[in-house]
Amino acid sequence: MDARESLKRQLIKDRDRIITLVQDMVRIPSENPPGNTTELYAFVADFLQRQGLDYQTVAPVPEWPNLVASFDGGEPGRHLVLNGHLDVFPAGDRSRWSSDPYAAEIRDGKLYGRGVSDMKAGTAASILTYIYLSKIQQHLKGKLTLTAVSDEETGGEWGTKYLLDNVPGTLGDCVINAEPSTPRTIRFGEKGPLWLNVELRTPGGHGAYTHQSQNAIKQGARLIRELESLTQLPFEIPADVEEKIEIARPALDEVLGQGATDIVRAITLNIGVIRGGDKMNMIAADCHIEVDLRCPVGMPSQRLLAEFEQVLSKYDGASYTISGGHDANVCDPNHEMVGILGDNAEAVRGIRPYPAISIGGTDCRLWRERGVPAYVYGPTPYGMGAPDEYVTLDDLLGTVHVHVLSAYDYLMG
Ligand SMILES: [Zn+2]
């Protein structure tokens, strides 16, 4: 029996052990904020150690350790990097959960728990891929690297970004990641956020003497209406990306709701926060607005920012700061890895996934920005960032199988 066939058999045999690993990981909270992942990190490190595998701890912030592990195959070849994060959203109000968010209960073929979909099931898939392939290391070509990071949910500065900037050998030739997506898509790109804090200031005054000063809140209301025009700016999506977006339309709309594909293609505007004024009968002298713009592939955030500045320049006393963001990013939708993931997904789940652009962000961006193709194939998230988060066991097991086999195929290809 060849190595690939025995991998498949082993995966089927290990069904319960795979599920138990994810349950064990869910039972160790790693909420971010505050983002202390040391306990979960110690669990993962110990899990690798018990398989006789070495790892490196990279902890520029002691409470947010990152794990890097790597092995070479028996022959030279390509370098594949596996990436997942250990930190999760906070559980929030526990009374809104049907069961303890850290009990990792299984009901009706679903595994419940905070962070199970984003992304402990996925990170377990990366860890297991590394372990399964380490056992046939000598039969493999190339090199496999595992990165399990601790700072994804709040920006990645001390997680993946730190690794890529400071730890040699983490860039690789290709990356796979199991962030929540859906078995119906392989994500090859994502939109780019542009987050702006706007301050409007006017002299203010007595609320009866409206001739004496502009009202900063009313200015804010006008500004918000005017900012809607940014969503109508013309731009061009590259043809190969556009084609993939349209092919994936039915799948994406079914999973994320009608209209999701239109949002993938659009500049969107969300006003997340507005604050201003002091008192009913005073002219508001200040208004603070937090503007959340999202750029599709084809719309550089610098261009959108320039258009935003143009709008804002019409308001006396207005200023802004950038609180975060990056460009939309994309890698080759026709790369060999897309075919490999697609073939395995179809064989394992009976669903052929489409290459698609993601609305939300992942650490894959950091590789794509450095010219390394990075792909996401993961479980459908239910209740992500909300009570009663879960994944189906079918998605969980399917994600593990697809990642293990795809890593094998890529390294042997
Ligand atoms: Zn995530």
Do 28 and 40 meet the contact criterion of CB atoms below 8 Å apart? yes
Do 248 and 185 meet the contact criterion of CB atoms below 8 Å apart? yes
Q: Which residue range(s) make up the domain with 298?
A: 192-325
Task: Please check whether residues 102 and 82 belong to one and the same domain.
Answer: yes
pLDDT digits (tens, 9 = 90+) for 78-104: 999 999 999 999 999 999 999 999 999
Task: Please check whether residues 281 and 370 belong to one and the same domain.
Answer: no
pLDDT digits (tens, 9 = 90+) for 377-395: 999 999 988 999 999 999 9
Task: Please check whether residues 24 and 74 belong to one and the same domain.
Answer: yes
Write down the number of H helices and E strands in the chain.
13, 18
Cα(405)–Cα(11) distance, rounded to whole angstroms?
Answer: 10
DSSP class of residue 88 equals B
Res 350: pLDDT: 97
Task: Please check whether residues 51 and 70 belong to one and the same domain.
Answer: yes
- Compute how many other C-beta atoms are within 10 angstroms of the C-beta atom of residue 407: 27
What's the chain's average pLDDT? 96
End of a domain among 308, 325, 342?
325
End of a domain among 257, 291, 325?
325
Task: Please check whether residues 78 and 225 belong to one and the same domain.
Answer: no
Which residues lie below 8 Å from residue 214, measured CB to CB, with a gap of 6+? 202, 203, 283, 316
Task: Please check whether residues 226 and 244 belong to one and the same domain.
Answer: yes
Calculate how far, in angstroms, residue 334's C-alpha sits from the geometric centre of ligand 1: 24
Cα(351)–Cα(332) distance, rounded to whole angstroms?
Answer: 21
Task: Please check whether residues 320 and 351 belong to one and the same domain.
Answer: no
Task: Please check whether residues 177 and 67 belong to one and the same domain.
Answer: yes
Please say if the pLDDT value at position 346 is more than 70: yes
Calculate how far, in angstroms, residue 231's C-alpha sits from the geometric centre of ligand 1: 27
**Does residue 33 have a cis peptide bond before it, meaning omega lies within 30 degrees of 0?**
yes
pLDDT digits (tens, 9 = 90+) for 100-131: 999 999 999 999 999 999 999 999 999 999 99
End of a domain among 325, 340, 355?
325
Sequence letter at residue 257: G
- Compute how many other C-beta atoms are within 10 angstroms of the C-beta atom of residue 329: 22
pLDDT digits (tens, 9 = 90+) for 287-345: 999 999 999 999 999 999 999 999 999 999 899 999 999 999 999 999 999 999 999 99
CATH number for 225: 3.30.70.360
Task: Please check whether residues 153 and 178 belong to one and the same domain.
Answer: yes
Structural domain total, the chain = 2
Evaluated on CA atoms 41, 47, 50, 54, the torsion sign reads negative
Task: Sort 380 into a burial class: Cβ within 10 Å, 0-12 / 13-18 / 19+.
Answer: buried
CATH number for 395: 3.40.630.10
Calculate how far, in angstroms, residue 126's C-alpha sits from the geometric centre of ligand 1: 13
Calculate how far, in angstroms, residue 123's C-alpha sits from the geometric centre of ligand 1: 10
Please say if the pLDDT value at position 156 is more than 80: no
Nearest of 343, 338, 381, 373 to residue 356 by alpha carbon: 338
Do 292 and 271 meet the contact criterion of CB atoms below 8 Å apart? yes
Please say if the pLDDT value at position 140 is more than 70: yes
Task: Please check whether residues 404 and 378 belong to one and the same domain.
Answer: yes
| Position 153 confidence tier, pLDDT thresholds 50, 70, 90 | low
Res 251: pLDDT: 87
User: What is the model's pTM?
Assistant: 0.93
Calculate how far, in angstroms, residue 369's C-alpha sits from the geometric centre of ligand 1: 18
Mind giving me the DSSP string for 307-356?
HHHHHHTTSTTEEEEEEEE---EE--TTSHHHHHHHHHHHHHHS--PEEE
Task: Please check whether residues 156 and 228 belong to one and the same domain.
Answer: no
Task: Please check whether residues 42 and 88 belong to one and the same domain.
Answer: yes
Calculate how far, in angstroms, residue 125's C-alpha sits from the geometric centre of ligand 1: 14
